[in-house]
Structures are given as C-alpha cells and as structure tokens.
Structure 1
C-alpha cells in the first residue's frame, strides 16, 4: 500500500478524508494526520509516506511552506494541494513546485479518487524504473499489495505477468492467508509488525512465499496450495508458535492458478476471517466456515423472527421450570441457528443472546427462582456474553449458566409429571400455555400426553386450563376489577372469548357475576 499523510487544520475535513475516500481499493493507506505543516514534518519523518495531501492555509506552517521545506530537503514525495476559491492565486505558487494535484474545497470524492489513481500510476512507474531511489524490496511490497487489493482498472495479463516476474512473484499457484490479531486498536500496529517479522523468517527464508501487512491483517502469499488437512494444521501450528500469547484468527482464501486471481483469494480469506465467530476454534478457517450450528437454509431476514424468538424464550424457560435439562442445549442451538439464518453478524448474535438470556432471567426472578438484587453472578454472565470469541464458547457458557436454575425434577414417573403439569398451569395460567409445548418439554407426543392428563385428572388439558383461569377471574372480579382487565390478566386476548368461556363454566356473564 502507498502511505499517505493528511494535513489540514479542520478536524472534520481530516476525519472526512480518512473515512470517505476508498483508500484501500485505490491502493493507499492513511498512516497519519496533522493539523499544520510543522506537525506534518514530524509525521513524515516517522511514517515515511510517499504522498502528502495538504491544505494551503494553515496556522504555524502553511501548505506552501511545507512543500518548500520538503523540496529543499529533496524528499521524493508526491503532494496534492487542497484550496478554497479565494486562494487560487496563492495556490499557483505551490503548483510551481510540481505538486501532483490541485483540488478545490469542499473536496469531491470522485475528483480526489481520480487524482490518487494518477499519483499511484506515477509512483508505480517510478518504482519500476527505480526513480524514487527507494529499495527494491519496497517496489516488491507495492506490487504485492496491488495484487492483493482489487484494482478498478484490470491490467493486461501479459503486462501483469511481466511485472510480477520482475518482482520475483511469478509462481505456479498462489494461496492467501490472512492473520488477524485479537488485540486493541492501540496495540495493533506493534503486534502486526511483531507477527510479520516472525513469519517472514518462517515463510520467506524457506522460500514458501511472501509476507506483508495490510492492516488489520498480516498476509501470507504462499507459492504452493495447502492440500489436505495435515498441511493446514501444520501451517496453523507454526503461526501459533510464532504468535505465542497473542490471540489470533487465521483464514485461507483457497488456492488460485494465476496472479490475476490473487485478489479473489484475499477477499475470500477476509470474509472467512470475519465469520470466525461462527466457525470452529484453533484451526485455519476456510472460505465457507462450518457454522455452529449449521442452518438448513441460506442466511436471510425472516418476517416471523420475533415470534420464533419469543417461542424459544418460552420453551427455554419452561424447560428450566419442568426440570428438563436435556432440552436446554438443543433449544440454545436452535436459537443460534435462528440468529445466523436471519443474517446477524457476530455483534448482533451476541446482542440477541443477551436479550434471550436476560428475558429468561427476568422470568426466573418473577417466579422467585433467582434474586436479581443479591447476585453478582447474573451481571458477570450477561457482561461476559460480549467477551466470547466463538459462538461455541458462548453456547457452552449460556448452557452452563441456565442449568444452574433448572428445577430439580425429583422422582421420575407419570404421576410426578402430571403433578408438574398441574403446578405449571397454576403458576403460568395467564400465559400462552399449549399442550404441544409441554409435550415437547416432557418428551411425549401431544396426543399421548393429552390422554395421560385426562386419565389422571378427568379433564382435557384445555378444559382444565380454562377452569383454572375462570377461577382466578372470579377472584379478580370480586376485587372490583374491570372485565377487560381481568380477561387479559388470566390469559384471554379476546374479551368476547372470555365472556363465552365464563358463561360456559359459570352459567352467567362476568358482568352479572361482578354485579349480582
């Protein structure tokens, strides 16, 4: 990548240039930003850029003084000048110094991109001729980056191969590996350099390929494909030994036959690295990661997502209440598949697991199964959701945490299970209780459980539930509550339906019962 320093006394413009210009796709990287010429000189000395983009008018040292200083020091830098309309005559002086471009403010993105393309072509030509006086290794690095990052203009294949051969990069095949260190932004530059230095010894000195950095990755360009799991495991082990205590993700983009396809392998490797959260641990990731768990259909938004999530929360909570510990992990896997299928990325999946877990915890608290005010365990668990690097670890920790609150199922047997169902009805009559849900939690078919319930209680499940609801409704009506309020509190979404059920079992309407 060609290194750039931006110099402007307007913070918004500096930030805008760094974020709005597609630097990487154009073959550039911004290594520093300064608010005046004096700060820029220090940054240029430290970062050794090849391009400076500077405003004409700045305090302390303006753009023209900066360019004069650079030219007197014989620094081979390409300068692009930014100027307001009122400064045009002033800017003419800078143009005399051979600046690479002159743009009016506010900066137009397409015009800036066009100027950068011209500068890049000029730098490439100079480096091929050795005109910049920079070491040959830097020329090779530049062309390596140009191969990795897709260019808008496709170069003639024969011309491309000629350049690649001159850079000693013309091989029979290529495979790109990206390595992403899991460190803070502040530690990233030093970590990348550390990993790069170690990998250069392991890769380049053994003639296995080339090593470079395109932040936030260290990139390996291998000259032979990694065929078979043994070679992939061997390479991953070597990276791990060099990384030491540094946590990292490594992904391959697969082997390609020609240099014109290197960028394709690079893009696939980056995509695989971005999906590392959904993949297996401690291995070299491949372009299509093994999702945990693997959804049956492609990732896409689902209009019924919210309803499905609520149903999962419902079933998970009832599994804990019923003491069916074996159902918890399958339901968590079902939730993970739902999140992945709906197109969620790592951050969104963690947010969804936070929401799901928090909803279950509040249900447990409402049932007096957990005291939110007295435990720090809950806070540690919820905050820890965002710290997991892999979905498999998040699933395991969530499973372990929830099992701590699973109701002890006690003695087994049909009598015990019917007692649990009755107790369940009395505790959750106001919710959307369904026999099919309880059948799933107790590992019975719905018809069998329904018949078993009737044999033990003398009532069908829905009839028993209705009678419990009507009994609770009578208690609330006796307290003077309004009919529509009571209907909602005992689990009926329709007031008319509540009227019909009440009259069926009591022989009169709720209004008549309330006002005898």
Structure 2
C-alpha cells in the first residue's frame, strides 16, 4: 500500500479528500492528516509517507518550503499540490521542485481519482512493484501511444502527404485506432504563454489538458487521440453523425475547465479552434486546415473562446501590395541604417493591417512572419551581419506563435527588430570607432612629421571623403583641426617645460614655417608663443 498524508489548513478540505474516494481501490492508505506546514513536516519525519497531498499555502511552512524540506527528509516522496486561487509563482516553483501533479479547488472526484491512478503507476514503476502482466501492459500501452502519435506525425501534420489513399481499415491496422464510419473532426487547443515563464512547466499542463479532454470526450467517441506540438493540442475525434451537438457541448465544458488552469499560471491563454466535421477520413486534412485557420482568429476575436469556421472571414487582404510597400521603405532605411525609418515602416504596416475589415488572424500571422524574413534578407543584402540568422528566424517564429492578439504580435515584431538593429548599430559604431582610434593614436605618435588626410585614410583603409566625414562625426572636429590641436598642445608643453627657442619648437611639432606656426598658435591660445611662455613658464 502507498502511504498518503493529507495537508491543508482547511479541516473541511481534508475531510473531503479523505472521504471522496475509496483509497483501497487505488492501493493507497491515508496514514496522517495535518493542518499546517509544521505538522505536515513532522508527519513526513515520523511516518515516512510515499505521497503527500498538500495545499500550496499553509501556516507554518508553505507548500514550497514543505516540498523542499520534505524531499530532504525522504528523497523519493511524491507531492500533489492543491491551490484554490491564483498563486502561480508558488505553483510554478513547486512544479520545478518536481511535484507529480496539481489539483485546483473545488476538488473534483474524477480529477482526484485520475491523478492518483497516474501517481500510483509512476510509484510502482519506480519501486519495481509491477507484476509481469502490468509491465507487459505498460509496454504495450507505450508502443500503442507511439503508433497513434505516428498518425499525426506521418499523415495528418506531414506536409505533402497525399491523404486521398487514406482508408479507415488501413489506419486502424497500422496506427492501432478503432475508427468507424461516422463523423471525423479535428480541433486544436491553442496555448499562448510567456515562453520564459512557463516553458519548463508545459508538460504538466499538457497532461492536465489531456486529462480534461479525455474525461469529457472519450465516452462520446468511437475513438479519439491527442497530439501536442508547437503549443497546440491537436485532437482527432471519430463519433456518430447524430452526436455533433453533444460533442460541441462537451467541448465548451472542456474549455471552461481548461480556463480554470489560468489561476495557476501567469500570462497564459487558451483557445479552442474547431475544424469542419467531415464524413470521410480522407477529408481529415480539410478539417485540420479549418481548425488551424480558426485558431488564427483568436488574434482578432480574443482568446478563451470556442471558435469555429463560421468566424473565418471570406476577405483576402491585398498582401502583395502591403509587402511591396514595406519592403521598399525598409530597404531604403536599412541602406543608411536608419532605425527610426524601419520602425515607422512597421508601424505603418500595422496601422494598415489592423484597420482592414475582415482580415483574418492567420493572414496577420503569416504577414508578420514574412516581414521578419524580408528584414533578414535585406540585412544580408546591405552587408550587415546578424548572428545565426536561421536561429533568429526560428526563435522569432516560436515566440510569435505564442502571441495571443494581433496587437501583441506587432509589439513583439517591433521589439525584436528594434533590438536587432540596436545591436547592429552598436557593432557598426564600434567598427567605425576602431579606425578613428587608430588614426588618433598615429597622430599622437607622429605629429612631428608631415601628415595628410590621404595618409591617414590609407592607413585605416577608407577613402578620403568617407574618413573625413566619419572623423568629424566621431570627434566633433575635422581632421585638420584635430592635428593642429595635438601640435599646439605639444607646443604649449614645450614652451612651459623647456628652454628651446620658438623656431626649434616650431620644427619639433611639425611646422616648417615659423610665421604659419605663430599664426596657428595665436589662433589656438589667443597669445603669441613668446607671450604664452612669459605667462606660464
């Protein structure tokens, strides 16, 4: 028997959990109940339970402290956390500590039972207490799950696969389904979230979504399967033709339960996109296509909804014109590295797109992806380097797909391109500064010799015109003024610290003409060389 401790500061919650199910039926026994973190930790120490079901917030030690300290006392103890309101920081941290699952208040009997069955199976696998029959069953189940997932990976989601030859009997035989004649339908649960906040915890959320969907839909279908990819739960349903209304009603119930999970996760949105119901398995690809298109509409209509193909607008935007205008404006700005011009071009596109009637969310997503691609192409054409361009596009694609509105999508596009341009501008600035530093260092070391703009330009590898412009931009004065300043400062130093005659100083600082030197010195200091020496020597 698996030993269980219940911990919650609400006595009624503990009583509910204890009496909600037949614990013997899941090979478990409640060995203790605690109403604060200190009591719970004491029970772990004294009773060495295998599983603790605990509230995330309690007096004494909260859930996080309890999990941390409990695992120090008993390394292999499992935890299931309970939460009744939004404590996503605690919940996500707890999940990172390795809790087995979580339950939301009010606790549902079926959800608790499913969670305990899953925990029991993991426990027995870990402790090698499974019988040979159970081990064989689990291996078969694992193989069947892989086969059924293959239907999505190899047929349904694989681009370029001709689905005209797909037959029910063949699919059932190869992929281990139990499809029958009736309705086939694809729907998608789209998860939009902050990648940095939730990515590590997405697996436990996927398990919860699977549990909810199967709990409500399995009994209404001949067969169903769920496949997670790219922040989507793809689900194929096969059911009786007269069962469409029931399926839709059940999907609304599923959505309501899935939306409850928002209380435990920060900045997360859920939407269900319903594909067209078809009566031939060969048309599943069409159902998938409408489901994907429908999911795109969350960008326009908002998340937290059950969307269907009735919400897809018929209008197709004049995309080519929009892209051509943006490309032209962006190209002109990038050629002179005008960041503001690039951002204005993107803002202009955003205004045009978001003010268009009937434009679809899918079109907006595709448009934004194309803008990113065009930006990278134009950067290469302008000879600007961006580290790992392919990786840049992949990361952009991944995170753009997690945006939950068209406004958020354009904000993300602007943020990424703005940051990229800042890095390029800084790199170019550093690249431009280096030759200026080289030039200034050369002048400091060779001011006593004849130096021309052509000499320095050649030294740093630029033409005279570009170097002259760059030098003035970086130094605030032109090349001749800087050279004169260096020579005059050296002359001032020699006048103050040596007894050299003015003619010798004139030669030492690079002047051949005493009259020219005197005129330049007076212009620089408002004094003649001999007057300067009298005042400062």
- The TM tier, using the shorter chain, reads 0.3 to 0.5
Tell me which protein shows more helix as a share of its residues: 2
Question: What is the TM-score normalised by the length of structure 1?
Answer: 0.32
Report the structure number with the largest CA radius of gyration.
2
Question: What is the TM-score normalised by the length of structure 2?
Answer: 0.31
